[in-house]
Structure 1
Amino acid sequence: MLLDVSFCFSFFFEHWSGILCMCLYFFDSTVTDKFTESMYVLANEPSVALYRLQEHVRRSLPELVQHKTDMQSWEEQSQGAIYSVEYACSAVKSMTNSSLYFKNIDGLLRQAISMKEQISNSQGRSLHDVTPSPSPLVSAPHAPPTSSLPLD
């Protein structure tokens, strides 16, 4: 009986070894292909994609928040600078427009000075007409204050 089993085994390996190798190759490539496909599906599964997205957000979000706060700070500073520049420009424009007012004030001051001189001159004449000579005990009237503004 031992001879029959060894004969069957040798016959099987002689004829079926090629078929068996082909079956093993086909089985191996099929398993490899299925395993590769499974890994591809697992790697690209939506939950894995969401996990990768979550990790990306977790890594990049603090930096983005810092950039946002920096930009807000720079915006506030630039808005303040813009406001200051606009205020300065409006002040300069109002100063150039005020030259007309200064000319008017200059003319009014000149008129006031001339009126004051006329009043002083008329008071001086009336004093000379009323009192012929001042008494040494009575103090003389004070001279009118002179203006530091030029008359031109």
Structure 2
Amino acid sequence: MEEAEMQLKVKKVTDKFTESLYVLANEPSVALFRLQEHVRRSLPELAQHKSDMQSWEEQSQGAIYTVEYACSAIKSMADSSVYFKSIDSLLKHSIAMKEQLSAAQGRSTSAPQSKNPPGTS
């Protein structure tokens, strides 16, 4: 009976040892299988996120370019205020000259009429 009991204990020990070796030997493949499974599930979503991010980056770059262009336009407008002031003074000067010419023409056309009263030629 001792021998049967001993064989049973040896069988249990060898079965447990075999099971442990089997688990240890297959653990890396199970881990790799789980990684592969995870990658297959998450890769399409990650690819979509990458595509979305690239699209947002392009839109952001476009918006940044637009803002920089607008800022440079505003800066150049501020820098051109000297020219606008010069144009303004030239326009005021030309309006004053036009008024002087109009006044001079008005005097020159009204002067001959005052010398000769109407109806007396």
Q: Give TM-score, length-normalised by structure 2.
A: 0.74
> 1:65-76 alignment to 2 at 5 Å?
65-76=47-58
Could you tell me which residue of structure 2 aligns to residue 119 of structure 1? 101
Structure 1, unpaired ranges of 5+: 1-16, 137-152
Match of 2:10 in 1: 26
The sequence identity of aligned pairs, in percent, is: 56
**Structure 2: any 5+ residue segments left out of the alignment?**
none
Check 1:134–1:109 CA distance in 2 against 1; reply closer, same or farther (3 A cut). Answer: farther
The Cα offsets for residues 64-100 of structure 1, whole Å up to 9 and x where unpaired, read as 0121122122222222322232222223222222221
* 1:61 alignment partner, one of 43, 50, 68: 43
User: Distance between the aligned counterparts of 2:83 and 2:32, measured in 1?
Assistant: 72
Task: Output one character per residue of 1:42-61: Cα deviation in whole Å (capped at 9) or x when no partner.
Answer: 2324xx44433321111111
- Aligned amino acid, residue 72 of structure 2: S
TM-score using structure 1 length:
0.62
Q: Distance in 2 between matches of 1:105 and 1:20?
A: 118
Distance 2:108 2:65 in 1: 61
- Please show how residues 82-121 of structure 1 align to structure 2 within 5 Å: 82-121=64-103
Larger relative contact order (CA 8 Å, sep ≥ 6) = 1
User: Which whole-Å CA distance do the structure 1 matches of 2:13 and 2:7 have between them?
Assistant: 10
- Report the count of equivalent residues: 118
2:82 and 2:117 map into 1 onto residues whose CA distance is 47
Q: CA RMSD in A?
A: 2.7
